[in-house]
Amino acid sequence: MNILDKIVADKRKEVNLKKSLIPVLQLENSVLFSRKTVSLSNALRNSTSGIIAEHKRRSPSKSEINQSLNVQDVATGYENAGVCGMSVLTDSKYFGGSLDDLLLARAAVQMPLLRKEFIIDEYQLLEAKAHGADVILLIAAILSKEEIKTFSELAKSLDLDVLLEVHNEAELHKSIMPSLDMLGVNNRNLKTFEVSLETSKSLSELIPNEFVKVSESGISSIEAIKDLKPYGYQGFLIGENFMKTDNPGKNAKKFINQLS
């Protein structure tokens, strides 16, 4: 069993437990459920930098990244830096995140927030909406074509943007459908954790132009972004590069200034 299979197996148990404790009606009656969302795909289309900055405490590939910062300070710093949106890891066991992180980030900023999670159940979309997310991530590697369709259509009915993540051509072909807003290419192989920007380059021409193209993982330099822009990428998800510093917002601002 690879790490992705382990994460999904644990996630199924976690979601079933939550469903037994917090009914759907409670999520739908939450204060944030009726909030008007902000579109990340629109922000990326109208941006010169295309930076989506991440809040991530640790990961299976890097263990500890940064445990000392609080999420509202990171969110405020990112927003002041002028990023297009913020990705908030909500997985607890493998990434040290939580839905509370999403809630605190939402209280601190107005920019689009992506719930970065291993989504395997419709319930998690209702959770995302109830905790202030504007965007959800769907990972093609762990979902069937039918699940991608069901989850993305539900997301659209909740006024949530959808970022669909792929790692290879087969995942891309099963995923393309009108209920997606953004197609993300993860340069990290989730089974081996090896990273290569060539993944984004080789898949770029297979992504129809109506979707915003996002490149994820392994982007740590201005050169990497300049290298990928000619391939049509408008979004760049950057996590560890900012989070491993004492002041992610300040470093994001410096990065964006250098880029422009």
Instruction: Show which residues are catalytic.
Output: 54, 56, 116, 165, 186, 216-217
Say what angle helices 3-21 and 122-130 make with each other, to 10 degrees: 70
CA–CA gap between residue 2 and residue 12 (Å, rounded): 16
Looking only at the bridges linking them, the beta strands covering 63-64 and 58-59 are antiparallel
Report which of 193, 230, 257 is spatially closest to residue 51, judged by C-alpha positions.
257
**H and E: helices and strands count for the chain:** 12, 10
